[in-house]
Chain A
């Protein structure tokens, strides 16, 4: 790089920094957004369902039914309310005030003594299928506990022929926060990276300052570097802030090395900023650029990156679409670096994909950015 070029570049970077300082919304995007989003998501997104409201309808209360309902009352998974008749319970289910109904019919105690056993009717609101499935599992747990307690009291043993030992690796308590926070950091950085640069070139075109730039001796490559560098530093700052919050506020373990995290994040940021720049250069219009940036970053990163919905379960066509999203690779890499350590067989392919994206987006931006008025 020649001395003149270095000087021009320094001027461009300085100008960009001045602009960032003048309209503080860029700084807000880089530093305020991650803090707010991480706080909201870290506390707000949880799939750990507890205290499920259930209606218990006992048509004829006695000792046997009390033994069973006490199990529901004692479980932290349920917060039961007793309802007098089934019609009332069904209306509560319809109005989503309870998620399930446990119904013990009048002849419950009598049928317990009979060989075919007594039915315990359970109605679950299936609207939210995932929660419904969890609730069914909880009900089964309570039922089995009650059965084995009854068997123990009457001196018998309930022979469960299969003894299941469940081990969950990397996240033994299945704390959803542990896996959500690394994923959230990836999503937040996708948004920030895209938003930071999506408007910068479109703004120059819209305000006519691009034409002023065109008549100066700066090359388009220098313009590109001058735009990337300040936002890259801002993005890294936001990333560092997010990681610090993840480690100290949410207590997520970092088993991998900090250097690897830094390297992968840098690659990802280059890809995300490159994508924002490409959008900006291609559209030359702030409204279109902003809309495209939001449409292509936020919802895809949220829904298609494997952060909440399992990619392996999606149809093959949709899986193919997820392959063109940088966020997908960043989510996978971050989850592994945080929770499993430096597993090279996972980190390297994902890092390579991110590097490829960075090259493609920045290369395409350079291609599209011409010293021409049209």
Chain B
């Protein structure tokens, strides 16, 4: 039996790798994508283009504006001198933000009254706008407290001491790059397995496979093995790039990471084989892979937290293997989470994998046309 599985696995590998182009598309793009996306995927804003509209002539207004022009993430692109100039600058996306200091700003501040400052933000990209507003309120709060201290006011009865664990500088790249590791592994293994049976069906070789002494379980294992090996190899390469190139800290046990990867591959390959066993043509296999991949990525907590979704959709994510694997990858990379805290993420993936593989091996036999 082992010899038969070995022979089938070898044949699968050859089918996958003998063609130069198909070898290329499963190996090179994931690595390139990791590099490009690793740089692209960040929620931190840099070089925010903003325009200054300063009606105030006093020193306080100038100081406030200087805070923004000197900040590393802001880049002044225009100086406005009238209300009418504000709309065109924002409409055309020349500036993401307009900082408008009112005419009485310095005088009000000197008199001990609040000085008016207006910030206009382009809300077309609401996420960027929300992050930007966060930056602005931090900067104005800093300005306020410094001004208070200089003018001899009291800092208030209580102060906040905020610390961020695991990622003290709040670099969103540290969060997103481990996520890309899971994303690309899922993409490659699902594609490879989802089209494997469909291709044989379309070319008519699957019927030949069925009349051989292979049992459905053996066909299943033979089809799954290349996905496992490919997944392990690619994951290793991607983790190396993430730690050595992007300098994301890897604080936990590597062995734990690979245990997690094994269960993740079992679930994603299970889904891929299930899709493959249902598909008659490669187009159907591709569509099936797509219908699985796209929601899996979007609803995994990769870019937007699962906790923000409506409750019924949060329940839906429970059948998504990537959801569990992302918790494992991020936990091991950033938090150094020990194995016993991750067991809760492992068994759902095992369950998903087992159910799908069982269904796939059942369908291999029944669906013959």
Interface residues of chain A, those whose CB is within 8 Å of chain B, are: 23, 25-26, 28-29, 33, 36-37, 40-41, 43-53, 68, 93-96, 112-113, 115, 117-134, 136-137, 139-140, 143, 146-147, 150-151, 158-172, 174-176, 178-180, 191, 195, 199, 203, 206, 283, 285-288, 290-295, 298-299, 302-304, 306, 308-310, 312-315, 317-318, 321-322, 332, 335-336, 339-340, 343, 345-346
Q: Is B349 an interface residue (CB 8 A)?
A: no
Are A94 and B337 touching (Cβ within 8 A)?
yes
Interface of A is mostly: helix
Query: How far apart are the CA atoms of A132 and B48 in the complex, in Å?
Result: 21
Query: How far apart are the CA atoms of A150 and B331 in the complex, in Å?
Result: 40
Query: How far apart are the CA atoms of A137 and B310 in the complex, in Å?
Result: 23
B210 to chain A, nearest CB (A): 21
Q: Is B350 an interface residue (CB 8 A)?
A: no
Are A169 and B308 touching (Cβ within 8 A)?
no
Are A160 and B114 touching (Cβ within 8 A)?
yes
Are B298 and A170 touching (Cβ within 8 A)?
no
Are B291 and A94 touching (Cβ within 8 A)?
no
Query: How far apart are the CA atoms of A136 and B164 in the complex, in Å?
Result: 9
Mark contacts of B92-113 with chain A using CB atoms, 8 A cut-off: 1 yes-contact digit, 0 otherwise.
1100100000000000010010
Are A346 and B42 touching (Cβ within 8 A)?
no
Are A23 and B191 touching (Cβ within 8 A)?
no
With both beta carbons as reference points, the residue of chain A lying nearest to B20 in the complex is identified as A288
With both beta carbons as reference points, the residue of chain A lying nearest to B174 in the complex is identified as A129
Can you list 30 A-B pairs, Cβ within 8 angstroms, ordered by A? A37-B295, A40-B295, A46-B309, A93-B165, A94-B337, A117-B158, A125-B166, A130-B175, A132-B167, A136-B164, A137-B138, A146-B158, A159-B153, A161-B148, A166-B136, A169-B90, A179-B127, A283-B21, A286-B283, A288-B19, A291-B22, A294-B191, A295-B33, A299-B33, A303-B37, A309-B43, A309-B303, A313-B42, A313-B48, A346-B92
Beyond A147-B157, A295-B187, 9 additional pairs, beta carbon < 8 A: A115-B154, A118-B157, A126-B166, A160-B114, A166-B121, A170-B123, A176-B130, A195-B286, A195-B290
With both beta carbons as reference points, the residue of chain A lying nearest to B191 in the complex is identified as A291
A36 to chain B, nearest CB (A): 7
Top 4 nearest A-B pairs by Cβ distance? A126-B167, A171-B123, A126-B164, A163-B114
Query: How far apart are the CA atoms of A345 and B159 in the complex, in Å?
Result: 47
With both beta carbons as reference points, the residue of chain A lying nearest to B43 in the complex is identified as A130
Q: Is B299 an interface residue (CB 8 A)?
A: yes
Are A147 and B304 touching (Cβ within 8 A)?
no
From B25, B283, B299, B335, A44 is in contact (CB under 8 Å) with B299
Are B293 and A294 touching (Cβ within 8 A)?
yes
Residues of A within 8 A of B337 (CB): 94-95
From B116, B117, B160, B334, A140 is in contact (CB under 8 Å) with B160
From B29, B37, B282, B310, A199 is in contact (CB under 8 Å) with B282
Query: How far apart are the CA atoms of A203 and B286 in the complex, in Å?
Result: 13
B53 to chain A, nearest CB (A): 12
Mark contacts of B21-50 with chain A using CB atoms, 8 A cut-off: 1 yes-contact digit, 0 otherwise.
110011001000100110111111111110
